Structure 1
Amino acid sequence: MPTPGFRPTHVVPGRGTPAWEAPDPARPTVPLDPLLPVQLLQRRGDWAQVLCSNGWSAWVDGRHLIAVPQDPPAPGGPLTATEDPRPLLARAEQALARYRAAVEEVARGTLDGEDFRRRTQGVRIGVVVDGESVWLYDAVQGRWAYGDGTALSTYATDEEPGERPAAPGYAPTRVVTPDGES
């Protein structure tokens, strides 16, 4: 059950992250799961204290947390090229069709294992649909995007912090208090 007022500010990197009871490497605890949403409570140098939705808190290497973007735009507004989910859905369909065609050729015996590996090399998609919510992996931008059926926003990225130049509108990490104020 989520903690009342919990609002994630970051997610754990895709490989998960070690965690500690205190900002002290001698006090390890259970690692945090990949892409777990967390709320940043405070920073001490590279250390970050985070709150999980179940009320559990831990200290992590804050340099590796991935900032959650602002909420997606409200439904009903006009779609723009970056918010429109249809191009990303089309790319996912095309990649899945290429992969399925290669699988069909292997099943018919017209494609061997080496050719299958060569044909499918670089094909990478991810799609999770849950009612009106969708999570799509954008291999071109190396990110997971969340959508509500009308608009997309970046949820998590493959890149380590600092690999990509700051995008317009970029805001550095900020500490959010339990009441949501910074």
Structure 2
Amino acid sequence: MTSRGFRPTHVVPPRGMPAWETPDPARPTVPLDPLLPVELMDRRGDWAYIRCANGWAAWVDGRVLVAVPGDPPAADGAPEGTADPRPLLARAEQALADYRAAVEALASGALDGEDFEARTRDLRIGLVVDGESMWLYDPEEGRWLYGDGRRLSTYATDRTVTGAGDTGHAPTRLVAPEGERR
């Protein structure tokens, strides 16, 4: 469930990052996944207090968060180079159904932990819906896309961008800094 008022301001660097319960290195918590959209809530020196779409919050090294641009502007019709969101939504639905089936098999005892891990190893799903706005992770392309219901455009990527070429995808804006730390 998306927490009320969540608006991504940053993404986690492409290699993921550690997180802490408090701005204290002695209190680590669960690390954050690569390119996870987060909202910057507060800063204390180099520390940044972030919130995720599900409401979970933590302290991180604010120096390595990747700022995201504002939402792409809405326009009438589908301009050249934008993608229809429906195929990617269908893939996300299938990945979620596959994960749900694996969880049900694990809960019923039909799978053990090792088999569950093997069955879910390559599943990656990312979706934030906030009214008409949507951020959707495309695991095949390694990028987050922003959608307004009619079209998708690249929001952040974990790959080096050389240009849109003939891929049929929206032009990609690389938001990760060139000399990334970690």
Aligned mate of 2:162, from 150, 165, 170: 165
**SS state of the match for residue 163, structure 2?**
coil
TM-score, length-normalised on structure 1? Answer: 0.54
Q: 1:130 to 1:35 in 2, by over 3 A?
A: farther
Cα shift readout 1:63-117 (whole Å, capped 9, x = no counterpart) = xxxxx5993561x415888520001100000000000000000010111011101
| Contact 2:71–2:146 (CA under 8 A) maintained in structure 1 | no
Larger Cα-atom Rg: 1
- TM-align CA RMSD: 3.3
More strand by share: 1
TM-score, length-normalised on structure 2? Answer: 0.54
Aligned to 1:152: 152
Aligned to 1:34: 65
Q: Which runs of 5+ in 1 are unaligned?
A: 1-7, 17-28, 38-67, 174-182
Q: Give 4+ residue runs of structure 1 displaced > 4 Å after superposition.
A: 78-82, 169-173
Q: 1:72 to 1:86 in 2, by over 3 A?
A: farther
**SS state of the match for residue 135, structure 2?**
strand
Once residues 83 and 170 of structure 1 are traced to their aligned partners in structure 2, the CA distance between those partners, rounded to angstroms, is 12
Higher relative contact order (CA 8 A, sep 6+): 1
Aligned to 1:132: 132
> What is the deviation of 1:36?
2.2
Once residues 140 and 174 of structure 2 are traced to their aligned partners in structure 1, the CA distance between those partners, rounded to angstroms, is 24
> What is the deviation of 1:158?
1.3
Q: 1:35 to 1:114 in 2, by over 3 A?
A: same
| Contact 2:95–2:124 (CA under 8 A) maintained in structure 1 | yes
Q: 1:121 to 1:86 in 2, by over 3 A?
A: same
